């Protein structure tokens, strides 16, 4: 009857005292790494979210995540395309570590049926103007000579184009080939292709993830105006020895990976080599019989998980293109990266990267005794890059850090040998130092609105012992400037310094559960400039630093897009995105610009501005037997220089008003698969004389207003097909085979269209004639055998 | 660079090709072309005035009708040129026009604008003689023909710029590849060939095909025209305009305009002129090819 005694009162008081504490819910961090169960590879951009959808995050470039949850019980879902969603029930009472491994989806599970797995990346992520591909997606695209090609896959996406076969780089949203920051495990690569654009330097066997950011570039990236192509290598199988490769008509590749310490350390080495020259020997004319032309590359990585808080990685790339026929001509990139990840606590993650990168070319014949010459050039950089991620709370993730890059430019070192003597015609080396610090935050305002904002502050100094060249005026618009003075500096002296604040902003607003609007603004600066006045950039083009004459290039880009998914399980992705980019301090050249082996090349340059704008339409089907995408870009890119075309805007060399790509992949069954891609784009512009006249019977061409790019080559279109026969992965008794292989039959340029690369004129006998030169004028078939063990 | 091109060409030789195509080029501004190469020979001097034409238009250049065209020398002599037929060919044939050592100014009035230019008449060496010899075949000509050699020596002292021209049966060779522009006895001022005899390839007419080859009874004329350094530079830029085709097109830069020494008082693009004014002293020698009458060539045939 009377339960009110002292003990009860004490309990009531304790409960009463606890109420305020209970009202402030305690929050804790759950963090860890997400890995592929088959080989221990960390998974980039894997999604983690609570079943109720209230909390979510993604893994970073190192597979690491941190999610803040109030005290309680949750079912956490781990999701990655192509893998079975993993479900873990956890009780959150304090900070906790949760490392998981995902299992690949087996063929039997119909993708459509798996609950909770909706294809939402398209509209849920705040990132816009971004294309992310994992290797499985890249392997499905038919490529030249049967090899999956990272850069070719990126070129099939909206907003990306090239001037044609033979171009060593690609253009993003109307930007030049040097305006793309191409990173392989954080180290920059300067020439992304082998054999004049036919193959990329990235061996798909060693690549884990590819991300192309065309706009709304986050504050941790800087140094190029138009895009970031961030390529991450695989670490190497941490569980067992495995390998893969392919043998083809013109080249082969092989990759091997294995654990050094099971589940803790591993390595991967992948190499490729072409041998077209050896096979073609019997077919070549006598004067070419000792010719060599081939490429090779080697990609390698070693990594070690020291403990729960520390990982180290060492990766490198070495590749070369070689031409030789009595003389040698070769070029290539080398990179070496060392990285250390350190987890301070479950809120603060750090990555410390240092790298060395070198792109060089070399031409030479003969030697000092017999006569000849040698000419080489390179660009080297050394850099340190600390970057931090601070998971402040569920609504705010802060990134901050910095970068310092020391540049050495050797535009051309050349020696001529005659009669036992050596004559030096080298250009002086030049030096620069680029520094940056950045801070940014990704903030969830409320359900359905995410803002990402930040500031990167960069500065660049032109350093001694470079020389400072001071120029006067030009006597006419097509002449070089007069050199007034050349000043020498000591090692490390600062000649000229520039500062550039670069604000970055992007935002996403959900309209409903299947669509969103995204918008972004970024300001980018670029301190190195590719000097190229030829039809397309070539391996001999050199990089100029920013100097007292050549100012940093700047770009401001705004973008706005609408993203929506349709269909069962949202398997159809669509988007339409518009952008406008204004560029400053763009470089042009006088008609007779002498860029090679000329210390006074700065006197041959014009400066002006540019603008690029366009609309990108994209539809992609990700599920079912028939998958693929259609991309259409309508765009314009123009340049304006006082001395050219009366100071009016004129077409940029890579302006393509219409670029469209259709990629289709059909899986008949487990064994047979077919894919096709059809590419159509407007022909690239080129500079043509617009006038001619006769003098004393000789025909002379003329360009009255010093116009550029006033004509176009014919339109470009091409169909590629490929057919794959997959080998069985299992033996008749159901056990896994030791190794299995696929046969790939492909045809590049199936209807043998002679797409023009450039047009030149012959007017020897009176009337001029236009002649188009096509690099690929036939169909190129190939057969490749790919194997995996 | 040619070797690099041919090396790269082998990679693409199995796949690449060239085709003639139609190209649309946006129109350029039409301007006056002044073709004014006058000399000291006792023959009518012609200044040709025409309009330029659009690059691919297969039309004849239109004649330019000027209000007046005259040349004045530094002794105040005036030479008025007339175009009787209104075909753009302005002629003077009253007396010898060019005299060595004088400076000449060209004045053209027309179109509401005045065009002017200046040039100087440099000396030229006499031609000693012409030798000729039959050659069964030679570089560039698979059929036999008579090779005709010019025997003359560069003037000693200053740097001399010449234009050596050849006429077969009274018709000038006008091929770009036939432009023969020596400096002293060689091709540049620094070459130590001052005062030297002309040697091949300067002293022989290049025969590239059957039409050029010379046979019995053909008339061959060599003319040495004196040029100023500027005129030599003009022709060098014309020669520079040929672009390498094929794989060389990958490395091609935009065609550069050829310079002009015609100045216009007009400010707009359409009032500017292209072309060149040159005053030359010419020495000339002609022979009729008769078997066994020529002196043998001074250089061995093979």
pLDDT value at position A414?
Answer: 87
| Chain B residue with the nearest C-alpha to that of A168 | B250
**Closest approach of A535 to chain B, Cα-based (Å):** 6
pLDDT value at position B251?
Answer: 64
Band of residue A15 on the pLDDT scale cut at 50, 70, 90: low
Residue written as tokens 């490729």? Answer: A272
Mean pLDDT of A365-375: 79
Cα gap A311→A350, rounded to integer Å: 11
Burial class (CB in 10 A: 0-12, 13-18, 19+), A713: buried
pLDDT value at position A465?
Answer: 93
Q: Judge contact between B246 and B5, C-beta under 8 A.
A: yes
Lowest mean pLDDT among A169-173, A338-342, A415-419, B44-48: A415-419
The per-residue pLDDT string of chain B (302 residues; one tens digit each, 9 = 90 and over) reads 444 555 455 555 556 778 888 878 878 889 999 999 999 999 999 999 999 988 888 888 899 999 999 999 999 999 999 999 999 999 999 999 999 999 999 999 998 999 999 999 999 999 998 888 887 776 555 667 888 889 999 998 888 999 999 999 999 988 877 888 998 888 777 667 788 888 888 888 877 677 778 888 889 999 999 999 999 999 988 888 865 555 555 666 777 789 999 999 998 888 999 999 999 999 999 989 887 666 777 777 65
Question: What DSSP assignment string belongs to A228-285?
Answer: EEEEEE----SSS-EEEEEEESSEEEEEEEEEEETTTEEEEEEEEEE-HHHHHGGGS-
Which residues on neighbouring strands pair with residue A658, listed in sequence order? Answer: A634
**Closest C-alpha to A354, from A306, A399, A318, A315:** A315
Which residues on neighbouring strands pair with residue A429, listed in sequence order? Answer: none
Q: For residue range A151-170, what is the model confidence (pLDDT) as tens digits?
A: 888 888 999 998 877 777 89
Cα gap A135→A189, rounded to integer Å: 19
β-pair type (A180-184, A572-589) = unpaired
pLDDT value at position B42?
Answer: 92
pLDDT value at position A112?
Answer: 36
Under 8 Å CB-to-CB from A507, ≥6 apart: which residues? A126, A449, A450, A451, A452, A518, A519, A520
Q: What is the mean pLDDT of chain A?
A: 87
| Cα separation values, A38 from A106, A307, A315, A713, Å | 12, 21, 22, 50
Q: Judge contact between A445 and A418, C-beta under 8 A.
A: no
Query: Between B56, B174, B246, which is nearest A773 by CB?
Result: B246
Cα gap A618→A41, rounded to integer Å: 31
Q: Please report, in angstroms and rounded to a whole number, the separation of the first and last CA atoms in chain A.
A: 78
Q: Is the sign of the CA dihedral A88, A91, A92, A95 positive or negative?
A: negative
Report residue A427 as tokens: 């250009």
Question: Is it the case that residue A789 has pLDDT exceeding 70?
Answer: yes
pLDDT value at position A634?
Answer: 97
- Set of chain B residues whose Cβ sits within 8 Å of the Cβ of A699: 176
β-pair type (B113-120, A47-50) = unpaired
| Chain A residue with the nearest C-alpha to that of B251 | A534
Q: Judge contact between A435 and A463, C-beta under 8 A.
A: no
The alpha carbon of residue B211 and the mean position of all alpha carbons in its chain are separated, in whole angstroms, by 20
The alpha carbon of residue B240 and the mean position of all alpha carbons in its chain are separated, in whole angstroms, by 13
pLDDT value at position B202?
Answer: 86
Which residues on neighbouring strands pair with residue B17, listed in sequence order? Answer: A774
Question: Is it the case that residue A136 has pLDDT exceeding 90?
Answer: no
Cα gap A170→A178, rounded to integer Å: 9
Instruction: Determine, for residues A711 and B24 on separate chains, whether the beta-carbon distance falls below 8 Å.
Output: yes
Q: Is the sign of the CA dihedral B1, B4, B10, B12 positive or negative?
A: negative
Residue written as tokens 């095909």? Answer: B209
Band of residue A754 on the pLDDT scale cut at 50, 70, 90: confident
Cα gap A103→A507, rounded to integer Å: 33
Which residues on neighbouring strands pair with residue B149, listed in sequence order? Answer: B131, B204
Instruction: Determine, for residues A535 and B269 on separate chains, whether the beta-carbon distance falls below 8 Å.
Output: no
Q: Does B250 touch chain A (CB under 8 A)?
A: yes
Cα gap A669→B120, rounded to integer Å: 85
Question: Is it the case that residue A85 has pLDDT exceeding 80?
Answer: yes
Task: Compute chain B's Rg from CA coordinates.
Answer: 22
Structure pTM? 0.85
Q: Does B58 touch chain A (CB under 8 A)?
A: yes
Cα gap A5→B75, rounded to integer Å: 138
Give the three-state DSSP class for A466.
Answer: coil
Cα gap A160→A175, rounded to integer Å: 9
pLDDT value at position B10?
Answer: 53
SS (HEC) of chain B: CHHHHHHHHHHHHCCCEEEEECCCECCCCCCEEEEEEEECCCCCEEEEEEECEECCCCCCCCECCCCEEEEEECCCCEEEEECCCCCCEEEECCCCCCCCCCEEEEEEEECCEEEEEEEECCCCCCEEEEEEEEECCECCECCCEEEEEEEEECCCCCCCEEEEEEEECCEECCCHHHCECCECCECCCCCCCCCCECCCCCCECCCCCHHHCECCCCEEEEEEEEECHHHHHHHHHHHHCCCCCHHHHHHCCCCCCCCCCCEECCCCHHHCEEEEEEEECEEEEEEECCCCCCCCCCCCCC
Mean pLDDT of A524-537: 86
Tell me which of B133 and A506 has the higher pLDDT. A506
Cα gap B242→A698, rounded to integer Å: 12
Instruction: Determine, for residues A691 and B12 on separate chains, whether the beta-carbon distance falls below 8 Å.
Output: no
pLDDT value at position A120?
Answer: 64
pLDDT value at position A114?
Answer: 36
Report residue A550 as tokens: 């050549």
Mean pLDDT of A529-557: 88
Lowest mean pLDDT among A7-16, A493-502, B256-265: A7-16
**Closest approach of B96 to chain A, Cα-based (Å):** 20
Question: Is it the case that residue A30 has pLDDT exceeding 90?
Answer: yes
Question: Is it the case that residue A655 has pLDDT exceeding 80?
Answer: yes
- Set of chain B residues whose Cβ sits within 8 Å of the Cβ of A593: 253
Instruction: Determine, for residues B35 and A593 on separate chains, whether the beta-carbon distance falls below 8 Å.
Output: no
| Chain A residue with the nearest C-alpha to that of B242 | A762
Q: Convert A579-590 to b/e letters by CB count within 10 Å (16 or more is b).
A: bebebbbbbbbb
| Chain A residue with the nearest C-alpha to that of B26 | A710
pLDDT value at position B87?
Answer: 92
Burial class (CB in 10 A: 0-12, 13-18, 19+), A536: buried
Question: Is it the case that residue A141 has pLDDT exceeding 70?
Answer: no
> What phi, psi does A2 have (nearest 5°)?
-100, 95
Q: For residue range A609-650, what is the model confidence (pLDDT) as tens digits?
A: 999 999 999 999 988 899 889 999 999 999 999 988 889 999
Q: For residue range A286-336, what is the model confidence (pLDDT) as tens digits?
A: 555 667 788 999 999 999 999 989 999 999 999 999 887 767 888 999 999
Q: Does A699 touch chain B (CB under 8 A)?
A: yes
**Closest approach of A691 to chain B, Cα-based (Å):** 4
Under 8 Å CB-to-CB from B291, ≥6 apart: which residues? B134, B216
Q: Could you count the other beta carbons within 10 Å of the beta carbon of residue B177?
A: 12
| Cα separation values, A106 from A67, A83, A88, A238, A743, Å | 29, 8, 20, 21, 22
Query: Between A293, A533, A700, which is nearest B238 by CB?
Result: A700
Question: What DSSP assignment string belongs to A359-406?
Answer: EEEEEEEEETTTEEEEEEEEEEEEEEEEEEEEEEETTEEEEEEEEEEE
Q: Does B174 touch chain A (CB under 8 A)?
A: yes
pLDDT value at position A725?
Answer: 92
**Cα angle: A215, vertex A221, A223; to 5 degrees:** 95
β-pair type (A180-184, A227-233) = parallel
- Set of chain A residues whose Cβ sits within 8 Å of the Cβ of B23: 688, 711-713, 759, 770
pLDDT value at position A686?
Answer: 84
Cα gap B279→B40, rounded to integer Å: 8
| Cα separation values, A377 from A430, A541, B8, Å | 12, 9, 19
A350-354, A749-753, B189-193 — most confident range:
A350-354
Query: Between A323, A702, A754, which is nearest B257 by CB?
Result: A702
pLDDT value at position A535?
Answer: 64
Question: Is it the case that residue A755 has pLDDT exceeding 70?
Answer: yes
Where on the phi/psi map is residue A549: left (φ > 0), alpha (ψ -120 to 50), or beta?
Answer: alpha
Give the three-state DSSP class for A286.
Answer: helix
The alpha carbon of residue A541 and the mean position of all alpha carbons in its chain are separated, in whole angstroms, by 20
A127-131, A687-691, B72-76 — most confident range:
B72-76
Report cis status (omega within 30 of 0) of the bond before A751: no
pLDDT value at position A7?
Answer: 63
Q: Judge contact between A524 and A584, C-beta under 8 A.
A: no
Burial class (CB in 10 A: 0-12, 13-18, 19+), A521: middle
Band of residue A369 on the pLDDT scale cut at 50, 70, 90: confident
pLDDT value at position A96?
Answer: 92
- Please report the residues numbered 107 through 166 in chain A whose beta carbons come closer than 8 angstroms to any beta carbon of chain B: 166
């Amino acid at each position: 009857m009377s339960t009110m005694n002292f003990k009860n009162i004490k309990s009531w008081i304790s409960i009463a005292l606890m109420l305020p504490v209970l009202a402030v819910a305690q929050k804790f961090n759950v963090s860890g790494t997400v890995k592929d169960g088959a080989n221990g590879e960390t998974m980039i951009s894997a999604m983690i979210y609570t079943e109720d959808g209230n909390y979510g995050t993604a893994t970073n470039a190192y597979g690491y995540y941190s999610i803040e949850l109030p005290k309680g019980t949750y079912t956490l879902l781990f999701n990655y395309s192509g893998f079975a969603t993993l479900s873990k029930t956890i009780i959150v009472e304090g900070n906790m570590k949760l490392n998981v491994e995902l299992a690949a989806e087996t063929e039997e599970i119909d993708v459509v049926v798996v609950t909770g797995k909706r294809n939402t990346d398209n509209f849920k992520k705040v990132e816009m103007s971004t294309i992310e591909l994992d290797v499985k997606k890249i392997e499905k695209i038919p490529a030249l000579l049967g090899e999956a090609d990272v850069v070719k896959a990126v070129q099939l996406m909206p907003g990306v184009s090239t001037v044609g076969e033979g171009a060593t780089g690609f253009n993003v949203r109307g930007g030049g080939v040097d305006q793309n920051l191409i990173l392989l495990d954080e180290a920059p690569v300067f020439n992304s292709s082998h054999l004049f654009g036919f193959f990329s330097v990235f061996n798909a066997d060693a690549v884990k993830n590819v991300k192309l950011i065309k706009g709304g570039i986050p504050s941790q990236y800087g140094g190029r105006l138009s895009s970031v192509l961030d390529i991450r290598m695989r670490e190497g199988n941490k569980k067992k020895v495995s390998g893969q490769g392919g043998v083809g008509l013109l080249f082969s590749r092989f990759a091997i990976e294995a654990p050094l310490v099971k589940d803790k350390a591993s390595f991967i080495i992948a190499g490729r080599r072409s041998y077209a020259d050896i096979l073609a020997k019997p077919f070549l004319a006598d004067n070419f019989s000792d010719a060599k032309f081939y490429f090779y590359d080697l990609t390698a990585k070693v990594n070690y998980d020291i403990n729960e808080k520390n990982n180290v990685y060492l990766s490198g790339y070495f590749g070369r293109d070689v031409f030789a026929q009595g003389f040698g001509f070769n070029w290539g990139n080398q990179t070496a990266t060392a990285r250390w990840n350190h987890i301070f606590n479950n809120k603060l993650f750090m990555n410390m990267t240092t790298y060395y990168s070198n792109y060089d070319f070399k031409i030479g014949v003969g030697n000092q005794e017999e006569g000849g010459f040698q000419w080489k050039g390179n660009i080297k950089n050394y850099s340190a890059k600390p970057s931090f991620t601070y998971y402040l709370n569920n609504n705010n993730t802060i990134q901050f850090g910095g970068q310092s890059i020391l540049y050495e430019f050797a535009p051309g070192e050349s020696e001529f040998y005659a009669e036992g003597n050596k004559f030096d015609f080298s250009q002086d080396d030049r030096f620069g130092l680029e520094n940056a610090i950045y801070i940014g935050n990704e903030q969830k305002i409320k359900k359905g609105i995410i803002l990402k904002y930040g500031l990167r502050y960069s500065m660049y100094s032109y350093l001694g012992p470079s020389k400072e060249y001071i120029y006067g005026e030009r006597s006419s618009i097509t002449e070089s400037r007069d050199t007034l003075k050349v000043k020498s500096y000591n090692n490390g002296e600062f000649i000229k310094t520039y500062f550039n604040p670069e604000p970055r902003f992007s935002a996403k607003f959900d309209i409903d559960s299947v669509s969103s609007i995204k918008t972004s603004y970024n300001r980018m600066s670029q301190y190195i400039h590719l000097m190229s006045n030829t039809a397309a950039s070539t391996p001999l083009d050199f990089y100029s630093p920013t100097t007292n004459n050549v100012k940093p290039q700047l770009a401001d880009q705004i973008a706005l897009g609408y993203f929506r998914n349709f269909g069962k399980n949202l398997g159809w992705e669509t988007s339409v995105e518009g952008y406008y980019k204004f560029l400053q301090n763009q470089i042009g050249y006088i008609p007779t610009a002498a860029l090679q082996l000329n210390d006074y090349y700065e006197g041959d340059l014009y400066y002006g501005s540019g603008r690029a704008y366009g609309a990108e339409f994209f539809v992609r089907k990700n599920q079912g037997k028939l998958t693929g995408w259609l991309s259409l870009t309508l765009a314009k890119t123009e340049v304006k220089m006082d001395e050219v075309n009366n100071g009016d805007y004129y077409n940029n060399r890579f302006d393509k008003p219409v670029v469209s790509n259709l990629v289709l992949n059909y899986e008949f069954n487990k064994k047979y698969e077919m894919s096709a891609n059809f590419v159509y784009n407007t022909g690239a512009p080129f500079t043509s004389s617009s006038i001619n006249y006769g003098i004393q019977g000789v025909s002379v061409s003329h360009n009255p207003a010093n116009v550029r790019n006033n004509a176009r080559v014919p339109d470009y279109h091409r169909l590629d097909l490929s057919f794959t026969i997959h080998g069985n992965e299992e033996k008749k008794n159901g056990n896994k085979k030791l190794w299995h292989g696929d046969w790939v039959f492909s045809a590049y340029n199936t209807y043998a269209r002679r797409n023009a690369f450039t047009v030149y004129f012959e007017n020897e006998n009176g009337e001029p004639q236009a002649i188009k030169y096509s690099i690929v004028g036939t169909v190129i078939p190939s057969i490749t055998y790919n194997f995996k063990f | 660079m040619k070797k690099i091109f041919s090396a790269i060409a082998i990679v693409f030789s199995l796949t690449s090709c060239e085709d003639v195509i139609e190209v649309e080029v946006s129109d350029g501004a039409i301007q006056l072309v002044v073709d004014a190469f006058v000399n000291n020979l006792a023959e009518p001097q012609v200044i040709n005035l025409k309009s330029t034409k659009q690059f691919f238009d297969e039309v004849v250049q239109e004649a330019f009708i000027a209000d007046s065209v005259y040349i004045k020398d530094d002794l105040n002599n005036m030479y008025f040129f007339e175009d009787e037929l209104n075909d753009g060919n302005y002629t003077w044939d009253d007396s010898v026009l060019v005299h060595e050592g004088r400076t000449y100014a060209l004045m053209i009035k027309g179109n509401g604008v005045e065009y002017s230019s200046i040039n100087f008449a440099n000396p030229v060496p006499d031609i000693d003689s012409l030798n000729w010899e039959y050659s069964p075949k030679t570089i560039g000509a698979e059929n036999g023909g008579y090779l005709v050699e010019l025997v003359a020596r560069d003037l000693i002292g200053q740097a001399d710029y010449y234009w050596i021209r050849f006429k077969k049966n009274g018709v000038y060779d006008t091929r770009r590849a036939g432009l023969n522009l020596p400096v002293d006895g060689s091709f540049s001022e620094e070459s130590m060939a001052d005062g030297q005899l002309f040697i091949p390839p300067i002293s022989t007419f290049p025969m590239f095909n059957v039409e050029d080859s010379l046979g019995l009874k053909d008339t061959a004329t060599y003319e040495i025209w004196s040029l100023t350094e500027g005129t030599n530079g003009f022709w060098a830029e014309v020669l520079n305009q040929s672009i390498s085709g094929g794989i060389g097109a990958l490395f091609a830069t935009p065609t550069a305009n050829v310079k002009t020494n015609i100045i216009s008082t007009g400010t707009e693009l359409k009032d500017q002129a292209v072309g060149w004014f040159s005053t030359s002293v010419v020495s000339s020698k002609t022979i009729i090819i008769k078997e066994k009458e020529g002196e043998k060539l001074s250089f061995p045939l093979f």
